[in-house]
Amino acid sequence: MNPAELHIGIVGAGPSGCYVADALGRKLPGARIDIFDRLPTPFGLVRGGVAPDHQGTKNIARQFERTLGKDGVRFLGNIAIGRDLSYEELKAAYDVLIITIGALEDRRLGIPGETLDGVYGSGQFVGWYNGIPDGRELEPKLDGKSLAIIGNGNVALDIARLLGKTPDELASSDLCAHARTAFEAARIEDIWLIGRRGPAEASFTTAELAEFGELSRVAIQVDPAQLPQILPEGLPEEQRKLAEKNLEVLRTYAAHEEQHNRPVRIHFMFHAAPVAILGEGRARELVLEKTRIEHGRAIPGGETFTIPADTIISAIGYRSTPFSGLPFDEVRGIVANDQGRVEAGVYTVGWCKRGPQGVVPANRADSLAVADLILADLAIHQTGGKPGGALIDSLFAEHGVRPVDFAGWQKINAAEVAAGQGRPREKLARIEDLLAAARG
Ligand code: NAP
């Protein structure tokens, strides 16, 4: 196989797509790589998921930018598979096709009241404040005094922390203007962070948990009785280490002097499983059931209680959204695959391969592993000779589709950075504005 005759298509320009493009570009010099994204902007979760006050994490975008700018690599933004191109057309065009579409759909709580006004999935909510165009018009209700976040992962922490910060504490973030305005107008006094299991089972990472200690207007409430003195038997080593470090931080919070003069309270509440959301048209209360842990699982004990909650955000994980023809595991909500292999010539990487777990660098390891798998397969099977971008370009011409290319993205980037005025950037959050900027 001559790499120069190889055409590689990657669907999704998020971290996994960029990492796999970089790895294959290095190992297959001369291969042509097209990276598609449904949005006019690249970088997936780095732009639309990573918290706007975690700018250090976003620095990885500079490396991805270099990947997209390399010879032989094309960025094709604003191309939705299923709308502008079909899976069959992609397979006809590329010798190697890699699906890295992430996990964009919120998992459902499956409890009564979930569809009431004021109830949001974390994907919707985060997408709204991070300027993902599909979420731009969400305008979440933040007009009540009490807001509950269900889930004990880092996404739940991101949301609570951002809501707890003052405008000054958000000044160096790239939180979108529409979200800044809404956060400043909000009068939330109580934020509940609710875990169905205990603090030893929470999936928060310690650095993220420790950030709460720095919030100037927030009083952190942790019930010391909920913090175990001894960790449960049988925790896997990694979980045990994480639990020890997290408990240390939670103990310092529980021992805090009362911070009476602080206007916002963040309550860490454990062993509480959501049962129902109550309200007439609009969420007003969250019903929870006390749990105990058996063999690592949350077992409801029958005793329920209610907290006020005018806004409820479930941060309980995500599913991928397949396009027509893509082999899909409906139960797990991921692309059906065997270690990254989907079908002959088709591979998958990242959250759509293994579920929504792991920070950005975890996707690098996954991408490198699948790149090696692809190289091993290429060494065995005679591959090559498909038309690649030439077929795609003729289909675009036929259908009147005009992708946003890398130069277009650079124009968007420049416009956003210029509009930042002291902030890292002011994101354009509507498709029409992004396209106008891309087309200069
Ligand atoms: P996560 O870490 O998997 O947490 C999901 C949480 O939802 C868990 O506490 C889980 O509880 C809970 N949950 C699931 N179903 C539930 C239900 N029906 N009722 C109540 N609770 C339920 O997921 P995530 O927070 O969405 O984060 C996804 C990945 O992105 C993670 O790997 C995370 O570390 C990463 N991330 C990292 C950062 C960062 O580094 N700053 C920021 C954001 C996200 P159980 O454990 O009991 O199932």
Give distance in angstroms: CA of 103 to centre of ligand 1.
Answer: 13
More confident residue, 382 or 396: 396
Burial of residue 281, with CB atoms counted within 10 A of its CB: 0-12 exposed, 13-18 middle, 19 or more buried: exposed
Residue 362 alpha carbon, nearest atom of ligand 1: 32
Q: Which atom of ligand 1 is nearest to the CA of 49?
A: 43
Minimum CA distance residue for ligand 1 atom 15: 316
CA of 204 to the centre of ligand 1 (A): 8
Q: 360: Cβ below 6 Å to ligand 1?
A: no
Residue 144 has a pLDDT of 97
Q: pLDDT by residue (tens digit) across 280-329? A: 999 999 999 999 999 889 999 999 999 999 999 999 999 999 999 999 99
What is the predicted pLDDT for the residue at 343?
A: 97
Which residues lie below 8 Å from residue 341, measured CB to CB, with a gap of 6+?
A: 347, 373, 377
Show the 3-state SS of the chain. Answer: CCHHHCEEEEECCCHHHHHHHHHHHHHCCCCEEEEECCCCCCCHHHHHCCCCCCHHHHCHHHHHHHHHCCCCEEEEECCCECCCECHHHHHHHCCEEEECCCCCEECCCCCCCCCCECEEEHHHHHHHHCCCHHHCCCCCCCCCCEEEEECCCHHHHHHHHHHHCCCCCCCCCCCCHHHHHHHHHCCCCEEEEECCCCHHHCCCCHHHHHHHHHCCCEEEEECHHHCCCCCCCCCCHHHHHHHHHHHHHHHHHHCCCCCCCCCEEEEEECCEEEEEEECCCECCEEEEEEEEEECCEEEEEEEEEEEECCEEEECCCEECCCCCCCCEECCCCEECCECCEEECCEEECCHHHHCCCCCHHHHHHHHHHHHHHHHHHHHHCCCCCCCCHHHHHHHHHHHCCCCECHHHHHHHHHHHHHHHCCCCCCCCCCHHHHHHHHCC
* Cβ atoms 86, 325 nearer than 8 A: yes
CA distances 203 to 62, 92, 320, Å, are: 28, 42, 21
Closest CA to 314 of 145, 199, 148: 148
Residue 232: the pLDDT is: 84
Q: Is 149 in the pocket of ligand 1 (CB under 6 A)?
A: no
Q: Which atom of ligand 1 lies nearest, measured to the CA of 152?
A: 9
- Is residue 154 within 8 Å of 51, Cβ to Cβ? no
Instruction: Report the predicted TM-score, pTM, of the whole model to 2 decimal places.
Output: 0.97
Q: Write down the pLDDT at residue 77.
A: 98
Q: Is 123 in the pocket of ligand 1 (CB under 6 A)?
A: no
75 Cα to the center of ligand 1, angstroms: 31
- Is 207's C-beta closer than 6 angstroms to any atom of ligand 1? no
CA of 249 to the centre of ligand 1 (A): 19
Ligand 1: centre distance to CA 404 (Å): 33
291 lines ligand 1 (CB under 6 A): no
Name beta bridge partners: 76: 36
What ligand 1 atom has the least distance to the C-alpha of 318?
26
Residue nearest atom 9 of ligand 1, based on CA coordinates? 152
Is the CB–ligand 1 distance for residue 314 below 6 Å?
no
Measure 6 CA to ligand 1 centroid, in angstroms: 39
Does the C-beta of 100 come closer than 6 Å to ligand 1? no
- Which structural domains are found in the chain, ordered by start? 3-104+319-403 (3.40.50.720), 108-316 (3.50.50.60)
Tens digits of residue pLDDT in 55-90? 999 999 999 999 999 999 999 999 999 999 999 999
User: Average pLDDT for residues 190-209, to the nearest whole number?
Assistant: 97
Q: pLDDT confidence of 253, banded at 50, 70, 90?
A: very high
211 Cβ inside 6 Å of ligand 1:
no
pLDDT of residue 256: 81
Cβ of residue 437 lying under 6 Å from some atom of ligand 1? no
Residue 435 pLDDT greater than 80, yes or no? yes
